[in-house]
Each structure stands twice: as C-alpha cells, then as structure tokens.
C-alpha cells in the first residue's frame, strides 16, 4: 500500500543497497539473497514520527516494534546538535534527528547568564551525551536557568539568539523547536521575532503553543500568516481539549487561504509532561479542567492528591495527565490534514503508553475496530504527510514515506487483522503486536515480530543548512 500513488495491490518489492529497486507484478524471488514472505500482510512505508522525545536505544526498541522507521525530536529540539548526532551514529535502530531548541538557546543568551556561559555550555553538552537528553536536562536544570524561563529575551540580545539558532541549523537542525508554554517569560514580541527569523532562513517552526485553546492557536497562525513561515503545531488534541472543533476549523480555514500550517495528534486521552515544569504553575486546574486525582505519577502509577502533588513537584519527574475526551481524539484522527505523532516520552517502564503503541493503536482501534478512517488514509497520516511536511527542510525525506522505485527501503510489514497496541496506563510499556517485519535502509531490524539484535542501520536526518551531507 502506497499512499502517494494509491497503489493497493499484491506486488513483489526488491530492495538493494538501501533503496527500493523494483515493484513488480512478477515474482522477484530468484534475484534475492533474502526473502521476506509477506503473504496475507500489509506492506507499507515505514512510519515517520515527527514528535518523539524518547531517543535512547531502549526507547527505539519500542518505536520500531510499533512500525516506526524515523523518530524525530522536533517539538523541544536540542542545542549542540552536532555532538548529539555524532554520539548516535552507528548506534541507532531507526533514523533520528532534531530541531534547534528555542528553549535552550534563549537560556544561553539571557543577560543574567552572561557570566555563566561556560557552565551552561558544559551542562548542555553533558545532557546531549545522555541516552535521554530531556530526562537529563530535567534532572540538571538549575534554579538560574529556570528563572530564565520567566524572563523575556531583551531586544538587545535578539541578535545573539539568532546567531545561536543559526549555528544549530548549520549543525543539522530540522527547523526550530518552540515550546513556549514551558517558558512563559517569552513575550509575544520574542515569539514573533523568532518567526521572522525562521521565515528569513526559510525553515519551519514546530510549536507547542502558549496555552490551551483557541487564542494560543491564533497567535502562532497569525505569525505564520504574517511572516510566511512553515508552521507545524504539535499535539493539537491536548492543546485544544474541548475547543478542538474550533481549533481544527481555524487550522483548516488558514490552510485553505494559503497559510502553510499543519498539525498532529496522538490516539490517547491522557497527556504527559514533567510535574516541575511551568505547565503546572498556579491555575493549572482551572486551565485543564481537572484536579489532583487526574494526575498519575509515572514511576509508581499512583494517582495524586494535594500532598503528593506538592512533594513530587518539588522532586521533579514525569506525570500522566488524564484530561481528554475520546470523542475529541477521534475527531482529531479523522480530520484529513491531521498527522499522527506519538509525543513518545523518554523510556521508563511506566511511561505513557503512546511511547510504545501510538501507530498500532491507530491501525487496530480506529481503522480496523471502529472503522473511523480507512487504512490508506491512516497510512498517509503516518508516512506521506510527515515526509512531505519535512522534505523542503530535510532533503532525505523526499525519498521516505513512499513505496516506489527509488524510495528509501524503510518498510513496515504488519498484520492488519491483529495489529494493536498493548501498553496501558495501568501496566506500563509493552510491545505492540502485529508488526511482523521492519526494514530500515533495507536492513531488517524486526523479523517475525522480534527485534534483530545488533542491527543499527539508522542514519541522521539533517536540515539542508547542515554542513554534513543529508542522509
């Protein structure tokens, strides 16, 4: 099944040197050294996840068992990308890449941090060396840097901010990651200036909007319309809640009028983030329409109360937030222009199940069992749409998300009758079922439903400003 051409037929596919070299009605077995028998199964482009925080080898085991062949950290992004990319070279089961972090770069250029730049640089380089940089950053983020989250970058330091962002683009950044709900000191002026910078460099912005609801969406869509920047809004489901119908109408109308804006959703009714973050500053209950028992501590699975909330917030760590309605999830997933993105958390046994089962859940629950959307439409949301979103900034994406001659041999083979997520909020992470085979750059990394040990064909996906040739 190829979402680009609409091909839905029995074919033999030949793979050589990492690429698809034939898609044939005739048998190609005689030419092959290795044969994968896919009779009765669906062969599709490997799933492209634009929103994967979990970037360790352990996290990628769950990603690839969910059919993912490219897992990119585009919402938060990173600093010192050259170091982060190099440390993963030859050690990744699937393709990887990241945006340039607005959050980290704005902390570096704050005037109050001028005397601490060597320490800040050392911190960021240290966390980039971690298997899970966001977890490491959450552990080490100092009081001084937290204070930066509540301050605007002064106009006098905007040039320094832009210089750091440009450095990140040259190191391989896939656009700019912006999550300004987590640093409320970022003014409307600061955010608009970053949009202007991105437009000038012709790179996209991947944004977690300022707060829940329609107004925050209007801010970034207005900025995109005014500057012409390419905008991707992450997890529209959790940032809209009951305002989702209006938010989707806003995005759809903007698209019809030529604004380059896309969005994504994940198929679960709970969110997840760090309890110590600005997300849980005073007023969170009113904003989200929930209270303490709707919060689940990741490490123990316990539901919180006022006392445990205060204790764990002081300690810091991940929490699962039960705050969405099923009908809103289905609305997001069935809206044609909404892609699938997991928002997969860093690996932990009790992490949000989206970290393991996002794509299989869409295929099993919403396609097969609920008939909410067709199989080809769902595959397009997982493959072709994300590839097209990135192909202008990341040239490698022009050859991904398709089953055709010349495309990269990133391929998933699954059983549409049995595919399903198995991870739960109660029991924690477990591998999806029904994902039978996965090839990354033509190399089998899952065979007969099991991880192929020692197979690390994943390559860095980098932006076109990179000094390294894009893979």
Q: CATH code at 54?
A: 3.20.20.140
Residue 413 lies in a domain: yes
Quick check: 470 pLDDT over 80?
Answer: no
Q: Which pLDDT value is given to residue 468? A: 60
Report the number of distinct structural domains present in the chain: 1
* Helices vs. strands in the chain: H and E counts, helices first: 16, 18
Residue 135 lies in a domain: yes
Q: Which pLDDT value is given to residue 170? A: 97
Residue 193 lies in a domain: yes
pTM of the entire predicted model: 0.97
Q: C-alpha distances in angstroms, 360 versus 133, 210, 420?
A: 26, 30, 5
Provide the percentage of residues in the chain whose pLDDT is more than 70.
Answer: 99
Residue 7 lies in a domain: no
Q: Which pLDDT value is given to residue 469? A: 52
Residue 139 lies in a domain: yes
Q: Which pLDDT value is given to residue 471? A: 39
**What's the token pair of residue 392?**
């202008």
Mean of per-residue pLDDT scores for the chain: 96
Rounded distance, CA 450 to CA 438, Å?
10
Q: Which pLDDT value is given to residue 144? A: 78
Residue 279 lies in a domain: no
- Averaged pLDDT, 30-56: 96
Residue 73 lies in a domain: yes
SS3 297: strand
- Averaged pLDDT, 88-107: 97
Q: Which pLDDT value is given to residue 420? A: 98
User: Residue 232 gets which letter from DSSP?
Assistant: E
Give pLDDT tens digits for 232-278: 999 999 999 999 999 999 999 999 999 999 999 999 999 999 999 99
Rounded distance, CA 18 to CA 110, Å?
45
Domain range for residue 257? 12-269+324-451
Q: Which pLDDT value is given to residue 413? A: 98
Quick check: 115 pLDDT over 90?
Answer: no
User: In terms of C-beta density within 10 A (0-12 exposed, 13-18 middle, 19 or more buried), how is residue 303 classed?
Assistant: middle
Q: Which pLDDT value is given to residue 465? A: 94
- Averaged pLDDT, 149-178: 97
Quick check: 231 pLDDT over 80?
Answer: yes
Quick check: 141 pLDDT over 50?
Answer: yes
Provide the percentage of residues in the chain whose pLDDT is more than 90.
Answer: 96
Residue 287 lies in a domain: no
Torsions phi, psi of 173, nearest 5? Answer: -60, 135
By C-alpha distance, which of 202, 129, 137 is closest to 169?
202
Give pLDDT tens digits for 259-268: 999 999 999 9
């Amino acid at each position: 099944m190829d979402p680009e051409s609409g091909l839905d037929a029995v074919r033999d596919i030949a793979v050589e040197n990492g690429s698809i070299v034939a898609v044939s009605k005739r048998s190609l077995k005689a030419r092959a050294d290795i044969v994968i028998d896919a009779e009765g199964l669906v062969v599709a482009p490997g799933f492209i996840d634009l929103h994967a925080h979990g970037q360790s080898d352990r996290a990628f085991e769950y990603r690839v068992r969910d059919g993912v062949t490219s897992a990119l950290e585009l919402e938060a992004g990173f600093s010192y990308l050259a170091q982060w990319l190099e440390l993963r070279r030859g050690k990744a089961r699937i393709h990887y890449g990241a945006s340039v972090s607005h959050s980290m770069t704005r902390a570096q250029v704050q005037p109050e941090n001028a005397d601490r730049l060597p320490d800040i640089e050392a911190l960021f380089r240290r966390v980039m060396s971690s298997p899970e940089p966001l977890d490491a950053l959450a552990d080490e983020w100092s009081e001084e840097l937290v204070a930066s989250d509540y301050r605007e970058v002064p106009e006098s330091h905007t040039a320094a901010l832009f210089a750091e962002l440009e450095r990140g683009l040259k190191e391989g950044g896939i656009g700019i990651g912006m999550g300004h709900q987590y640093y409320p000191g970022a003014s409307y002026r600061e955010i608009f200036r970053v949009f202007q910078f991105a437009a000038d460099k012709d790179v996209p912005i991947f944004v977690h909007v300022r707060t829940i609801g329609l107004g925050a969406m209007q801010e970034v869509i207005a900025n995109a319309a005014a500057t012409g920047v390419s905008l991707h809004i992450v997890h529209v489901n959790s940032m809209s809640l009951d305002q989702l119908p209006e938010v989707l109408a806003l995005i759809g109308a903007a698209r019809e009028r030529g604004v380059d804006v896309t969005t994504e959703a994940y198929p679960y009714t709970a969110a997840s983030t760090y309890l110590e973050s600005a997300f849980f500053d005073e007023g969170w209950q009113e904003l989200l329409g929930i209270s303490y028992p709707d919060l689940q501590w990741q490490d123990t699975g316990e539901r919180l109360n006022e006392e445990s909330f205060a204790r764990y917030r002081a300690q810091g760590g991940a929490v699962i937030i039960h705050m969405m309605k099923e009908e809103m999830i289905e609305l997001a997933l069935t809206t044609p222009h909404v892609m699938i993105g997991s928002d997969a958390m860093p690996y932990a046994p009790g992490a949000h199940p989206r970290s393991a089962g996002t794509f299989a859940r869409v295929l099993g629950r919403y396609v097969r069992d609920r008939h909410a959307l067709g199989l080809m439409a769902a595959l397009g949301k997982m493959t072709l749409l994300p590839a097209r979103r990135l192909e202008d900034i990341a040239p490698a994406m022009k050859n991904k998300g398709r089953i055709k001659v010349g495309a990269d041999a990133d391929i998933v083979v699954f059983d549409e009758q049995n595919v399903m997520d198995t991870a739960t909020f109660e029991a924690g992470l477990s591998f999806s079922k029904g994902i039978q085979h996965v090839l990354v750059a033509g190399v089998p990394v899952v065979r007969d439903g099991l991880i192929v040990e020692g197979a690390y064909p994943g390559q860095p996906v980098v932006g076109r400003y990179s000094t390294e040739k894009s893979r």
